[in-house]
Structure formats: C-alpha cells, structure tokens
A and B are shown apart, each in its own frame.
Chain A
Amino acid sequence: EPEVTQTPSHQVTQMGQEVILRCVPISNHLYFYWYRQILGQKVEFLVSFYNNEISEKSEIFDDQFSVERPDGSNFTLKIRSTKLEDSAMYFCASTLKGGQPQHFGDGTRLSIL
C-alpha cells in the first residue's frame, strides 16, 4: 500500500536556525497538509495546500512558516527562525480528494535546543 514518507525522522536544530522538513506524499494525491503535535498535546492543523497554493492555514502558521512543492513529488515545510516552542512532532498528510481520509506519514520529531 502506498505511504506518505517523511524525512528526517528526528531533527535537532539550534534556536534561530532555519529547518526544512520533507515529505513525499502518495503519488496521485492532490491535497497536502502539515500538522504538529507538541509532546503530550493534541494534533494541531498547520496548513493545507492544493493546486500549488495554500488553501487554509491556522493561526499557528505565521510568517516564520512556509510550504513548498518544489517538484512533482516533494512537499516541504520550512521554519525560518526556529524557537524553543517549535519543538514538536510534525506530520505530513495527503489525500486524493477533499473529504476523503487523509493519510499520514510517521512524522519528524523536531527538537530545538
């Protein structure tokens, strides 16, 4: 069964540095998402992306965050200047059609020092 893959599985970064989290969605999917889960808290929506543009974003997704689909297979989340509170598990998800179940990757654990 096709999977969403995320790299790296664990990223450690100094505060203030830029970080890029990478995702390869399922190949024929058209809708892409990023979520995060701070340790011990619930999974929170960050952003959705369709047709090469952001379709919805949460209040968490401020100017420090950006997403990109640089080619036909990758979907990236960039945090420009990381803060301690950005430490979390970041999940990428994709789906073929709106309303259909989203398929999640195994996540990238981001640790900001």
Chain B
Amino acid sequence: AQSVTQLDSQVPVFEEAPVELRCNYSSSVSVYLFWYVQYPNQGLQLLLKYLSGSTLVESINGFEAEFNKSQTSFHLRKPSVHISDTAEYFCAVRGNEKLTFGTGTRLTIIP
C-alpha cells in the first residue's frame, strides 16, 4: 500500500522569497515519486520526477526536489518564487500501476 502526506494545505509566500512544500510518503514497493502542478482551471502537469539515480531532481522553471529515503520525504523547493508559480501542487507516489496523490498544497504568491 502507498500513501502520501502533504502537511501544508496552503502556503502563502512573498514574491522572490524561497519556498518549501513538504511531502512524505510510504510505499511497500519500489518508489517512483512525482510532483504535479495544477494551475487554475487546468489539468495536472508533471513538474518533476524521481525514478532512480541522483536524489536531487530539478525542473526547467527553477523548482527542485530531493528524495530522502531515510526520512521518506520528497520536499519541493524553489529559491525565489514568482507570481506565475501560484497554483496547487500535488505530490504523488507510484508503486505498481496507480499514482497515489497527496491532498495538495495551494501556493499563493504575495506581491
């Protein structure tokens, strides 16, 4: 069985400030981890993924996440946020077939 916990339902951050969105997971099988982003009135877009190899993964728009096996975490970070980062962020784990999602974190950027 798999589960994902996103501890923060909402995170307000000032523009150009750093942000960390927390994600903890549990899985009884091999772990593949993902962050998806959902902009208002849109679908889910893959932000970044951990499948194997380097524990630090990066996206093209400045986000990064680090897989920490001992802490069963996959926190998402960005050193300086922009207004355009306003969205809901979902952490997900894939064991066999399905993705199991967390409850999401709504990131609000304050100008």
Chain A interface size, under 10 / 10 to 19 / 20 to 34 / 35 or more: 20 to 34
Is the CB–CB distance between A43 and B32 below 8 Å? no
Shortest Cβ gap from A24 to chain B (Å): 14
Chain A residues positioned under 8 Å from B94 (CB to CB): 99, 102
Complex-state Cα separation, A91 to B47, whole angstroms = 17
Q: Mark B100-111, 1 if CB is under 8 A from A, else 0.
A: 111110000000
Q: Check B25 for interface membership: any CB of A closer than 8 A.
A: no
- Nearest B residue to A44 by beta-carbon distance? B101
Q: Report the stretch among B15-23, B38-46, B59-67 that lies at the interface.
A: B38-46
CB-defined contacts of A99 to chain B, threshold 8 Å: 32, 51, 94
A45 near B104 (CB under 8 angstroms)? no
Chain B residue numbers with a CB within 8 Å of A42 are 90, 101-104
| Chain A, residue nearest B102 (CB) | A42
Given the known inter-chain contacts A42-B104, A99-B51, please indicate yes or no for A104 contacting B98, CB distance below 8 A.
no
**How many B residues touch A, CB cutoff 8 Å?**
22
With a cutoff of 8 Å between Cβ atoms, the chain B residues found around residue A31 in the complex are: 97
A75 proximal to B (CB < 8 A): no
Expressed in whole angstroms, the minimum distance between the Cβ of B9 and any Cβ of chain A is: 10
Complex-state Cα separation, A44 to B42, whole angstroms: 17
- The chain A residue sitting closest to B100, CB to CB, is A45
Is A56 interfacial (CB-CB < 8 Å)?
yes
CA distance A42 to B99 in the complex (A): 12
* Interfacial chain A residues near B104, Cβ < 8 Å: 42-43
Give CA–CA (A44, B92) in the complex, Å. 11
Interface residue ranges, A against B (CB under 8 Å): 6, 31, 33, 35, 41-45, 48, 55-56, 58, 91, 93, 98-107
Residues of B in contact with A (beta carbons under 8 Å apart): 32, 34, 36, 42-46, 49, 51, 90, 92, 94, 96-104
6 more contacts with CB within 8 A, not counting A102-B99, A106-B42, are A33-B97, A43-B44, A43-B90, A101-B34, A101-B46, A104-B43
